[in-house]
Amino acid sequence: MSDLTLILLAAGNSSRFKVPVKKQWLRIGHDPLWLFVTNRITKMVSFANVIVVAHPEELPFMRSMCDITLVAGGSTRQDSLRNALSQVDTPYVLVSDIARACIDSTVLTRLITARELADCIVPTLGVNDTIVYGDDTIVRESIKRIQTPQLSRTTILRLALDTTQEYTDESSAIVAHGGTRHYVEGDIRADKITRIDDLRALECLGSPAAMTFTGNGFDVHPFEEGKQMVLGGVEIESSYGFKAHSDGDVAIHALIDALLGAACMGDIGMLFPDTDEDYKNIDSKVLLTRCVEKIHAFGFVIAHADITVIAQVPKIGPYKEQMRKTLAPLMGLSPSRLNIKATTTEHLGFIGRKEGVGVMATASLHYFDWING
> What is the contact surface with Mg ion in residues (CB under 5 A)?
219, 253
Q: How far is the CB of 254 from Mg ion (least distance, A)?
A: 8
CB of 257 to Mg ion, least distance (A): 9
CB of 278 to Mg ion, least distance (A): 16
Rounded alpha-carbon distances, angstroms, from residue 317 to 30, 308, 340: 40, 12, 9
Residue 311 · residue 342 · CB < 8 Å = yes
Shortest distance, position 307 Cβ to Mg ion, whole Å = 14
Pair 104, 190: CB distance under 8 Å: yes
Between 70 and 231, CB nearer to Mg ion? 231
Nearer to Mg ion, 186 or 248 (CB): 248
Which residue, 177 or 245, is less far from Mg ion as judged by CB? 245
What is the C-alpha to C-alpha distance for residues 38 and 230, in angstroms, rounded to an integer? 46
CA distances from 302 to 180, 282, 291, 354 (A): 51, 24, 12, 33
Residue among 298, 213, 289, 222 nearest 258 (CA): 213
- We find the least distance from the C-beta atom of residue 244 to Mg ion, in angstroms, to be 6
Distance of alpha carbon 332 from alpha carbon 324, whole angstroms: 12
| CB nearer Mg ion, residue 213 or residue 218 | 218
Q: Which is nearer to Mg ion, 184 or 236 (CB)?
A: 236
| 32 or 358: CB nearest Mg ion | 358
* Continuous H helices in the chain: 33-44, 59-63, 77-85, 105-113, 154-160, 170-176, 196-200, 250-262, 268-271, 284-297, 320-330, 349-352
Report phi then psi at 332, rounded to 5. 65, 35
Residue with nearest beta carbon to Mg ion: 253
Rounded to a whole number of angstroms, the minimum distance from the CB of residue 64 to Mg ion is 24
* Nearest CB to Mg ion, comparing residues 170 and 219: 219
Min CB(213)–Mg ion separation in Å: 23
Which DSSP helix (H) or strand (E) runs through 215? strand 212-225
